[in-house]
């Protein structure tokens, strides 16, 4: 597999360590992949770097970097969180339930991808997605680092690129194994509608360009299944580090798309490391 270096945003991770769906050229849900343990800190910010597919379905990989930041309001459960290209705001002051709006910038696919045929297709512009997220959290009262979360996110393209809708369901579990070390495990599924699926995985007269790829219509449905394993290391009172590896399988019509089946691979890998600074 050829590897290139591309400093865009690791969002550029659907997956740093945690639970992400992926978009052509870069992961769409880096917030899932960069699932750092930000919850037990008042203010934390940092940077992650990692390896991601050149586009969703590619068997070429690039390196990326992405920032993360979380501010939790004093004495509350409400927070504002930015991970790579996704901003979420929890508006509920509740130990168990979270809910709020999200905004995500989905990167496009340009002619710089490594595959010589996919690079000849018409470019896909980046776009803004708006939506919402919801989590149910079960926390060990004696050790808040041990917790289980079931969550969902919905996204609607409002930037006029695909006009499509997508969603994902996920489950995440954290288990302390030593005073400075937590392990985390995540799994999830992703859905996208017909507009979204065909825009990013279809091949037609409007986007085939000079690639010569066969025409293909990609219907919507469940399009990805993924799992992740990671670890969080508390290096000191003010510093933390997280590492993780995410494996996913493209499913449904997208898996049969020529850009995946003929030019890439339906099995996708993402791996990364992040370092954060905690302000108490």
Residue boundaries of the structural domains of the chain? 3-279
pLDDT tens, residue by residue, 58-114: 999 999 888 999 999 988 999 999 998 999 999 999 999 999 999 999 988 989 999
3-279: CATH topology is Porin (2.40.160)
Q: Which of residues 22 and 11 earns the better pLDDT score?
A: 11
Which residues, including other chains, have CB under 8 Å from residue 141's CB and lie 6 or more apart?
none
Is the per-residue pLDDT at 163 higher than 70?
Answer: yes
Q: Which of 82, 93, 95 is nearest to 31 (CA)?
A: 82
C-alpha 12, offset from chain centre: 9
User: How far apart are alpha carbons 237 and 53 in whole angstroms?
Assistant: 34
**Model pLDDT for residues 241-261, shown as the tens digit of each residue:** 999 999 999 999 999 999 999
The residue written with tokens 């579990």 in the block is 173
């Amino acid at each position: 597999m050829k590897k290139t270096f591309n400093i865009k945003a690791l969002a550029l991770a659907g997956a740093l360590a945690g639970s992400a769906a992926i978009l052509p050229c870069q992961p769409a849900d880096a917030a899932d992949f960069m699932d750092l343990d930000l919850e037990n800190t008042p203010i934390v910010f940092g940077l992650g770097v990692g390896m991601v597919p050149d586009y969703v379905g590619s068997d070429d990989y690039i390196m990326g970097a992405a920032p993360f930041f979380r501010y939790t309001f004093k004495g509350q459960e409400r927070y504002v969180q930015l991970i790579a290209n996704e901003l979420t705001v929890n508006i509920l002051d509740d130990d168990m339930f979270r809910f709020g709006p999200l905004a995500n910038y989905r990167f496009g696919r340009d002619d710089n991808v490594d595959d010589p045929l996919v690079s000849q297709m018409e470019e896909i512009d980046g776009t803004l997605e708006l939506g919402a997220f919801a989590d149910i959290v079960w926390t060990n009262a004696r050790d808040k680092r041990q917790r289980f979360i079931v969550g969902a996110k919905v996204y609607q393209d409002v930037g006029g690129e695909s006009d499509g809708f997508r969603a994902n369901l996920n489950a995440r579990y954290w288990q302390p194994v030593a005073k400075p070390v937590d392990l985390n495990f995540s799994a999830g599924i992703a859905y996208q509608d017909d507009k979204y699926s065909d825009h990013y995985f279809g091949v037609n007269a409007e986007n085939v360009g000079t690639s010569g790829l066969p025409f293909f219509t990609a219907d919507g449905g469940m399009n990805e299944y993924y799992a992740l394993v990671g670890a969080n290391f508390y290096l000191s009172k003010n510093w933390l580090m997280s590492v993780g590896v995410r494996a996913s399988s493209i499913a449904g019509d997208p898996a049969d798309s020529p850009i995946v089946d003929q030019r890439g691979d339906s099995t996708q890998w993402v791996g990364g490391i992040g370092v954060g600074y905690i302000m108490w």
